[in-house]
């Protein structure tokens, strides 16, 4: 099989066979096919796409490029949850303990933040001593004993994706549905759970900027999951403004703890309940989503969900006294309001720019090697649809370096639209694909 011929085939919009796709992924993972030929192929896929059968083969070939976790020794229906990324997205921190406290086994592999979006692993490392690199046996043992474990992606999970993603990133071929489907679903399938609930974010701060493309991606991923015999659903959620009020690592952890104690922001909780009820239904513990949401509310009200969070942090070596007393998180040295310059209603607080403003304060990474300042970030005081008076804070900047405040403030002002007309709060749940 000549790589030249396979590129030519895709360039002409023809189908690649299962064998050809495996040959490409296998050869590239082993370093036998050079980057320049794969780059050309990626661009041909970008323009000509892949049909469902090709997408499935691509996903499976990428899954099979490394280890596949065997979770069969964990009792019950093991469930993973994945978000396509957002700003202020602390859903896993809240959702995981709630549903684990109801008895649903949560076996979750999470990532670190990059660019304007945050990552769950970074947030969990806010707890001193937290170990986010569990060995497979430890991961399985913990899910069996306390129903929840969260670990970083193991090194040999879908290695083809690591190479392909890096190449897509520098060849302007990231935003293509077949390639995104293969990338996300290969990792989810290699992670070995029985069920997957996808949070496909839509809007300014998301990967998918509009409903149509998000829906196409959601359908594509759900389709591949079903072909692989997984229980799978995708919830399209709004990411035009940050989720909740807090953006930045420690700040988001504190907000998540508040949520577990019954004081979560409405938008965050709407997403948590929607995803969680789907997970509970998949687990078989409850068949009705409304009743599943009630179970989740009870878990918060009774303190069971918070207790599970503490147990989970302890189990992974973290200092859970920070969860019991969030004042232990060292605040940033400067907390500065950004005040409204006019009366009116908030029409936009653009998520991507808020994420970038937090990153400019040191709260995010430009490259994987950057070190994060855990204390910095932005805490919103208003959400889209709220009324605001001149001089009232839109948000507070939490900074450790005074020199960075003016630039962050400018970014926030450019990201915020206040005008005299009334405006509705945002609808959080845009669509569900099952």
Name the residues annotated as catalytic: 82, 161, 168, 183, 187
Closest CA to 351 of 118, 92, 119, 184: 118
Region binding ligand URA by CB under 6 A among candidate stretches 176-184, 195-203, 273-281, 322-330? 176-184
Cβ 385 to ligand URA, closest distance in Å?
Answer: 29
Choice from 92, 183, 238, 316 touching ligand URA (CB under 6 A): 183
Restricted to residues 257-276, the positions that interact with ligand URA (CB under 6 A) are: none
Question: Per rule CB under 6 A, is residue 184 in the interface with ligand URA?
Answer: yes
Cβ 153 to ligand URA, closest distance in Å?
Answer: 10
CA distances from 323 to 42, 151, 259, 280 (A): 45, 19, 12, 25
CA dihedral 293, 297, 302, 305 (to 10 degrees): 80
Strand ranges across the sheet with 377-380 = 246-247, 377-380, 393-399, 334-339
Q: Write each residue from 142 to 171 as x if it is in contact with ligand URA (CB under 6 A), else as -, in one continuous string.
A: -----------------------x------
> Closest CB to ligand URA among 86 and 318?
86
Question: Per rule CB under 6 A, is residue 180 in the interface with ligand URA?
Answer: yes
Cβ 37 to ligand URA, closest distance in Å?
Answer: 20
CA dihedral 278, 281, 282, 285 (to 10 degrees): 140
Cβ 410 to ligand URA, closest distance in Å?
Answer: 29
**C-alpha dihedral sign at 24, 26, 27, 29:** positive
Region binding ligand URA by CB under 6 A among candidate stretches 19-27, 180-188, 312-320, 345-353? 180-188
Helices marked H in 171-242: 177-190, 211-227
Q: How far apart are CA 49 and CA 324, in angstroms?
A: 50
Cβ 186 to ligand URA, closest distance in Å?
Answer: 9
Question: Per rule CB under 6 A, is residue 278 in the interface with ligand URA?
Answer: no
> Closest CB to ligand URA among 27 and 111?
111
> Closest CB to ligand URA among 184 and 378?
184
Restricted to residues 61-120, the positions that interact with ligand URA (CB under 6 A) are: 84
Helices marked H in 191-329: 211-227, 249-258, 266-283, 289-301, 304-315, 321-324
CA distances from 354 to 89, 109, 281, 413 (A): 12, 26, 35, 10
> Closest CB to ligand URA among 207 and 306?
207
> Closest CB to ligand URA among 220 and 360?
220
Q: How far apart are CA 56 and CA 76, in angstroms?
A: 27
Restricted to residues 185-244, the positions that interact with ligand URA (CB under 6 A) are: 207
Tokens at residue 277, please? 């009820």
> Closest CB to ligand URA among 184 and 349?
184
Cβ 67 to ligand URA, closest distance in Å?
Answer: 17
For the beta carbon of residue 144, count every other beta carbon within 10 angstroms. 16
Tokens at residue 378, please? 């932005």
Interacting residue ranges for ligand URA, rule: CB under 6 A? 84, 165, 174, 180, 183-184, 207
């Amino acid at each position: 099989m000549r790589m030249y011929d396979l590129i030519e085939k895709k360039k002409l919009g023809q189908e690649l066979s299962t064998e050809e796709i495996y040959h490409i992924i296998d050869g590239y993972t082993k370093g036998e096919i050079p980057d320049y030929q794969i780059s050309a192929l990626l661009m041909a896929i970008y323009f000509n796409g892949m049909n469902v059968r090709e997408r499935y083969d691509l996903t499976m070939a990428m899954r099979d490029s490394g280890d596949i976790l065997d979770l069969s020794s964990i009792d019950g229906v093991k469930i993973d949850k994945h978000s396509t990324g957002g700003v202020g997205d602390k859903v896993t921190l809240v959702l995981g303990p709630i549903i684990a406290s109801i008895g649903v086994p949560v076996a979750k592999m999470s990532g670190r933040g990059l660019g304007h979006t945050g990552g769950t692993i970074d947030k969990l490392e806010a707890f001193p001593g937290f170990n986010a690199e569990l060995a497979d046996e430890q991961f399985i043992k913990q899910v069996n004993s306390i129903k929840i474990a969260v670990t970083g992606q193991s090194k040999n999970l879908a290695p083809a994706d690591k190479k392909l993603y890096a190449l897509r990133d520098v060849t302007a071929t990231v935003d293509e549905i077949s390639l995104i489907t293969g990338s996300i679903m290969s990792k989810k399938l290699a992670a070995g759970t029985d069920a997957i609930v996808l949070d496909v974010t839509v809007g300014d701060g998301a990967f998918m900027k509009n409903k149509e493309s998000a829906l196409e991606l959601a359908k594509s991923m759900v389709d591949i999951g079903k072909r692989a015999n997984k229980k799978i659903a995708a919830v399209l959620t709004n990411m035009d403004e940050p989720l909740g009020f807090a953006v930045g690592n420690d700040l988001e952890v504190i907000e998540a703890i508040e949520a577990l104690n019954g004081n979560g922001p409405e938008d965050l909780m709407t997403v948590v309940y929607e995803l969680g009820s789907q997970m509970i239904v998949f687990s078989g513990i409850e068949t009705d989503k409304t009743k599943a949401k009630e179970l989740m509310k009870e878990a918060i009200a009774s303190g069971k969900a918070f207790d599970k969070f503490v147990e989970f942090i302890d189990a992974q070596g973290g200092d859970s006294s920070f969860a019991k007393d969030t004042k232990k998180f060292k605040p940033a040295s400067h907390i500065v309001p950004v005040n409204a310059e006019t009366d009116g209603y908030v029409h936009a607080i653009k998520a991507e720019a808020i994420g970038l403003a937090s990153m400019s304060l040191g709260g995010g990474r430009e490259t994987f090697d950057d070190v994060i300042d855990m204390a910095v970030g932005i805490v919103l005081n208003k959400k889209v649809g709220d009324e605001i008076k001149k001089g009232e804070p839109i948000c507070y900047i939490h900074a450790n370096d005074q020199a960075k405040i003016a630039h962050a403030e400018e970014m926030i002002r450019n990201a915020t639209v206040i005008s005299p007309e009334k405006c509705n709060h945002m609808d959080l749940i845009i669509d569900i694909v099952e």
